[in-house]
A and B are shown apart, each in its own frame.
Chain A
Amino acid sequence: MKIVRNIALIFVFAFLYACEDVIDLDLNTGESQLVVDAFLTSDSTLQKIRLSKSAEYFLNAQTPAVNNAKVEVFGPNNQRYEFISDGAGNFVYDPQVAGPLDSIGFTYQLELTYEANKYIAFSMLNPVPPIDTILVAFEEASTFTEEGYFTQFFAVDFAGRRDFYWIKAFKNGIPINEENPSSLILSQDASFSGDGADGFPFILPIRAAITDEENPFQVGDVSSVELLSLNEAVFEYLDQVTIQANNGGLFSTPPANIRSNILDVSGNLQEEVLGVFSLSAISRDSILIK
């Protein structure tokens, strides 16, 4: 798995004289909007939805929290799950209260009331295949990497249906993309585009993306992986986040706003609220490097 860094090398040669520097810029600031960051799982742990407001681009601090809202999720048999504000922008549901949100195949509904406006969003809880194994291989140091252990996870996509996944990787419990949070590992069926990959084992670059190449595992580290099921709209959303958050250079695309899956109360796409509502099932595995 040296492809990515070898492509990088080519570009180093191609753009020997290229340079990047940080500059000061005055931007226009637009109207502030409500932002919904609702990534829920079927786990029995505390479930959290964060509400905030968009702000000027160079705010350089966390965007302001929103607390004065009503946040509910509805499950099978109209079961209501109430998310309670912690006063810091987080709305929390404890699955001890009315059970986890774990009805596979059911479409859950988010209902949100803010400043007399009501919004809804839907997310079906899709199944997720198990992680069969994690393989470990030692690699020597190379031009861009330290020596260390590189891991790969093996899982097989469900055949006969279009699936969407988000793969989260951790080193000793810390996300490997901590310094670069917009670098996400996403998969459609078992590949990037999903074409022809239905029912396949996850393809190589995805399978091996759970190691930080610049900082591979050493003896005593724990490599762990979480495989989350997504809805198509959420996959598209996250895919766009990775593009819009890293959109520079010769081959950048026109910057675009990311379309939310949150609707107004009559079920139409709206423009007031940003963000996304997602509900995922999770498979997990981890390995201690020996």
Chain B
Amino acid sequence: MKSIVTFFLLTLSLGLFSQSNSYSISGYVKSADTGEELIGASVIVKSKNTGVSANVYGFYSLSLPEGTYDVTYSFIGYKEVVKTIDLTKNVSINVELSETVNELEAVEVNAEGREKNIKSVEMSVNKIDAKTIKKIPALLGEADVIKSVLLLPGVSTVGEGSTGFNVRGGGIDQNLVLLDEAPVYNSSHLFGFFSVFNPDAVKNVKLIKGGIAPQYGGRLSSILDVRMKEGNKKEFTGTGGLGLIFSRLSIEGPINKDKTSFLVAGRRSYADVLAKPFLNDNLSGSSFYFYDLTAKVNHEINSKNRIFLSGYFGRDVFGSGFVFNWGNATATARWNHIFNDKLFMNLTGFYSDYDYAFGVEPDEGEEGDDFSWESSIVSYSIKPDFSYYVNNNNTIKFGGQSIYYNFKPAVASFASDGLSNDISLPDKYALENGLYIQNEQKIGSRLSILYGLRWSHFMYLGEGTKFTYRDTVPGIRRPLERKEDFNQFDKMASYNNFEPRLSLKYDLDEVSSIKASYNRMSQYLHLISNTVASTPVDLWLPTTNNIKPQLADQIAVGYFRNFDKNAYEASVEVYVKDFQNQIDYIDNADIFFNEQLAGDLLSGDGRAYGAEFFVKKNSGKLTGWISYTLAKSERKVEGINRGDWYPTRFDRLSNLSVVAAYELTKKWSFSANFVYSSGTPATFPTNRYEIQGIVVPHNVDQSRNNFRIPDYHRLDISATLTPESNIDRRWKGEWVFSVYNVYSRRNPFSIFFDQNQDNPVITEAIRFSVIGSFVPAVSYNFSF
């Protein structure tokens, strides 16, 4: 640990203050069409062979000696702008770039931005913009952020229709899913068929799988950073669509031109509206729908201060004699402040909540019998982040974060024949803190290093009861030994971890580079879920005296190369990952309404390794990518599989995605994607026995995940028709025709075993397919 700090300080002092007589150029890079900041835009001075990227708020700062320079501003899909700057003092320059009209033009004028694949120190990172997400053929024609992420290298899922995604052998709770910096605790609508992000409101999606910088923490396996659009600062515009599942509408525009803008976007499913006439009387009171609402306002107070307010609210509602609903709510407030041309600050405060409710309303004449159950996780956070542009060779970032959590495992009551009782479980509280510092340093013209440290700290707080359990044979419920009550804000357990992070990039030549990274991550929140696919009622719980923080170390190495003047970018990465304190469950664990849940939990180790191959074509009529992942992911837990290593339920040896979009004419464009992945493991019985006429499956070897279900593959296609419209007309529409699972493959989600209904002595293996046929869809999208 000490050596890392020494190394850090040493390197810092070497490179930091070497350039003295220089001035800075700083400012924002924005879109000329909408006024939105361009995240990651390139600012390059060719004569000095130097440059920087704009940060996530579009801010850049560049230091140069006195002189006259041609500064090139560029961004993928935008026309580049060259400014000649006579640098005799620090200057502030805001630049607006115009969108290129078509992809072909983009190739000619703008090859610059795509060098990032090789030039940036970042590795194991994939970015998708909203445009790409909308091109990918989707289930029922609904463009979807998470489903698009599943097509990236290193990402897999346990099966169709399940919540979340698995990155490099990590569980679905090991992804920090951020919507404008607020964590989203459950990213699914309808169990997992759709995600909570409205594609019309999304600006940019970035998935970080490795080489995770110190500014991020709290989850082991990935960061999915979803940024919402800021809202058009120039004019009012709207987009929307009518699909089979959702109807969508979003409106954005200036409140005060070039100073203040807003965005409001909403979606609602309407299967219930369509189904209503077909339901008979006793179902007409039933409801099944989901919706979400996204809103954002941003205001430029002056050239040094900007504020952003954004919020999300979404819910799934089902009911018919019962109520079952769940959803997230987030609110984020951010303040960008430029202290001077070298020091930039963002201060974020957020609130994020996920909750669900289940209840039974009595039928008529059955009053006095009911049940209600609510559960939630509520978090509040403050997070200052500073970027210090020391000089062209060093960018220091530092900051911290505090999150206060309130967990409500169950607020519940029931009544039976007029007699009622409260069966709530007590709330749990926790405080998570983090501090970090990092430096991104260029050494010579070829080598860049990003190094730093994150320190994380977690306290499990009162008021509450601390349970201590006796040890047993692993795999058997641990009995309670002792309990101790604590007052409000008393510390019941605490942990801290140092998380070193390091990334290196070395340019081999103009078109290729090698990169390597190491990161340690710690995670203090745990999703308690023992089902194949996570359910909406799964609980998030804090680290306690019984549940240790999860830890992961990852090493990744990669080779990056661009071809054909950056028209193609390619990479090969290999990674090794080691996990500690992974939660598992005893056989027949009791997860709900169990104050002594920790007695049913097991803890073990994990390991994952793999190779990822990725080729992406960025420009021309045909765009898309091919991604292939060869991977393994295993766990070892005392009490499961006789204590031996076993594959995780989402382990897939091979994972191939081919995504292609072809622009035939201005009127017609087509896209397709094909996915293939090896079957996931499953536990199958070896024997049967009979108890009271019931055939019970039994596994003599006590093995876990001892078989593989058949491989998964699927082809989806779509065609987009853009009718020619008068150029003066604001209204533009397009029709999207799509077919999901074109060749009707019955991809098995699982195989299970059951007794035949007609003859219970016969047992059968049953293949369960979530989607068993092709799914055609048509949708209409518009903008004005």
- How many A residues touch B, CB cutoff 8 Å? 86
* Residues of B338-379 whose CB lies within 8 A of A: 360, 362-363, 365-366, 369, 371
Which residues does chain B contribute within 8 Å of A276, judged by CB atoms? 691
Q: How far is the CB of A234 from chain B (nearest CB, A)?
A: 11
Confirm or deny: B132 has a beta carbon within 8 angstroms of a beta carbon on chain A: no
Question: Which stretch, A79-87, A112-120, A194-202, touches the partner chain B?
Answer: A194-202
Q: Is B555 an interface residue (CB 8 A)?
A: no
Q: Chain B contacts of A57 at CB under 8 A?
A: 684-688, 697, 753, 763
Are B691 and A23 within 8 A (Cβ)? no
Q: Is the CB of A30 within 8 A of B320?
A: no
Interface-located stretch among B203-211, B665-673, B699-707: B699-707
| Segment at the interface with B among A101-109, A122-130, A243-251 | A243-251
A60-B762, A259-B587 known; A9+B692 contact, CB < 8 A: no
Q: Is B694 an interface residue (CB 8 A)?
A: yes
Q: How many whole Å from A259's CB to the nearest CB in chain B? A: 7
B282 touches A203 (CB 8 A): no
Cα distance A62–B755 in the bound complex, in angstroms: 13
With a cutoff of 8 Å between Cβ atoms, the chain A residues found around residue B533 in the complex are: 250-251
CB–CB B689/A54 < 8 A? yes
- Could you tell me if B161 and A250 are in contact, using CB atoms closer than 8 angstroms? yes
Expressed in whole angstroms, the Cα–Cα distance for A281 and B532 within the complex equals: 38
Among A260-289, those with CB < 8 Å from B are 274-276
CB within 8 Å: A-B pair count = 260
A23-B765, A29-B686, A181-B693 given as contacts; is B531 within 8 A of A251 (CB)? yes
Residue among B366, B695, B701, B758 with max Cβ neighbours from chain A (10 Å)? B695
| Assembled-state Cα–Cα distance A70/B507 (Å) | 80
List chain B residues, Cβ under 8 A from A195.
423, 593
**Among B191, B324, B686, which residue has the most Cβ atoms of chain A within 10 A?**
B686
Please report which residues of chain B, range 128-167, place their CB below 8 angstroms from some CB of chain A when the two chains form the complex: 159, 161-162
Residues of B within 8 A of A15 (CB): 161, 770
What's the nearest-Cβ distance from chain A to residue B321, in Å? Answer: 5
- Beyond A17-B775, A245-B755, is A30–B683 a contact (Cβ under 8 Å)? no
A254 touches B704 (CB 8 A): yes
A236 to B590, CA, bound (A): 11
Contact B280 A143 (CB under 8 A): yes
Contact call A180/B757, Cβ cutoff below 8 A = yes
B684-727 residues with Cβ-Cβ distance < 8 A to A are 684-702, 704, 706-707
Taken together as a complex, chains A and B put the C-alpha atoms of A29 and B531 apart, in Å, by 26
B701 with A17: CB separation less than 8 A: no
Cα A163 to Cα B764 with chains together (Å): 35
Q: Which residue of A lies closest to B586 (CB)?
A: A256
Q: Are the CB atoms of A252 and B531 closer together than 8 Å?
A: yes
Q: How far is the CA of A7 from the CA of B536 in the complex (A)?
A: 14
Interface size class of B (residues with CB under 8 A): 35 or more
The reply to whether the CB of B295 lies closer than 8 angstroms to some CB of chain A is: no
Asked whether A201 lies within 8 Å of B414 as measured between CB atoms, the reply is no
Interface string of A1-29 (1 = CB under 8 A from B): 11100110110011101111111110111
* List of A residues within 8 angstroms of B677 by Cβ: none
B757 touches A62 (CB 8 A): no
Contact status A13-B271, CB under 8 Å: yes
The majority secondary structure among interface residues of chain A is: loop
When A180-B755, A196-B414, A245-B755 are in contact, do A251 and B685 touch as well, CB less than 8 Å?
no
Binary per-residue interface labels of chain B (741-767) against chain A in the complex, 1 for a CB within 8 Å, 0 otherwise: 000001001111111011011111111
B530 at the interface (CB under 8 A from A): yes
- Report A45-57 CB contacts with B as 1/0, cut-off 8 Å: 0000010111111
How far is the CB of A3 from the nearest CB of chain B, in Å? 5
A77 on interface, CB distance cutoff 8 Å? no
When distances are taken between beta carbons in the complex, the residues of chain A under 8 Å from B321 are 2-3, 6
Contact B280 A196 (CB under 8 A): no
B292-308 interface code vs A (CB 8 A; 1 in, 0 out): 00000000000000000
B65 at the interface (CB under 8 A from A): no
Q: Knowing A52-B689, A250-B749 touch, does A20 contact B767 (C-beta < 8 A)?
A: yes
Partner of B416, one of A18, A27, A180, A203: A203
A33 within 8 A of B: yes
Alpha-carbon gap, A252 to B753, bound state (A): 12
B471 within 8 A of A: no
Q: Is A67 an interface residue (CB 8 A)?
A: no
A143–B692 alpha-carbon span in the complex (Å): 32
B3 in the interface, Cβ–Cβ < 8 Å?
A: no
* Docked pose: A180 CA to B55 CA in angstroms: 61
Name the residue in B161, B286, B416 with the highest tally of chain A Cβ atoms < 10 Å from its Cβ: B416
CB distance from A16 to the nearest CB of B (A): 9
- Flag if A18 contacts B697 (CB, 8 Å): no
- The answer to whether A191 has its CB under 8 Å from any CB of chain B is yes
| Cβ-defined contact, B320 with A9, below 8 A | yes
Q: How far is the CA of A240 from the CA of B694 in the complex (A)?
A: 12
> A96 within 8 Å of B by Cβ?
no
Question: A203 — which chain B residues lie within 8 A by C-beta?
Answer: 369, 371, 414, 416
Q: How far is the CB of B584 from chain A (nearest CB, A)?
A: 9
Q: Is B13 an interface residue (CB 8 A)?
A: no
Say if the beta carbon of A142 comes within 8 Å of chain B.
Answer: yes
Determine which of B416, B749, B757, B769 lies in contact with A201 in the assembled complex, contact meaning CB atoms within 8 Å: B416
> Which residue of chain A lies nearest to B410 when distances are taken between CB atoms in the complex?
A195
A182 to B699, CA, bound (A): 18
Q: A250 to B755, alpha carbons, bound, how many Å?
A: 19
Residue A154 interfacial (CB < 8 Å): yes
B318 interfacial by beta-carbon distance below 8 Å: yes
A246 touches B754 (CB 8 A): yes
Question: For chain A residues 30-88, which have a beta carbon within 8 Å of chain B?
Answer: 30-33, 35, 37, 39, 50, 52-63
Given contacts A19-B772, A190-B416, 7 further A-B contacts (CB under 8 A): A3-B360, A7-B324, A33-B698, A35-B691, A58-B763, A191-B416, A259-B588
A-B pairs with beta carbons under 8 Å apart, 11 shown: A17-B770, A19-B772, A21-B746, A30-B698, A54-B698, A193-B592, A204-B416, A236-B588, A253-B532, A254-B585, A254-B704
Residues of B participating in the A interface, judged by any CB pair closer than 8 Å: 159, 161-162, 190-191, 193, 271, 275, 280, 282-283, 286, 288, 318, 320-322, 324, 360, 362-363, 365-366, 369, 371, 414, 416-417, 419, 421-423, 530-533, 535, 585, 587-588, 592-593, 649, 683-702, 704, 706-707, 746, 749-755, 757-758, 760-773, 775
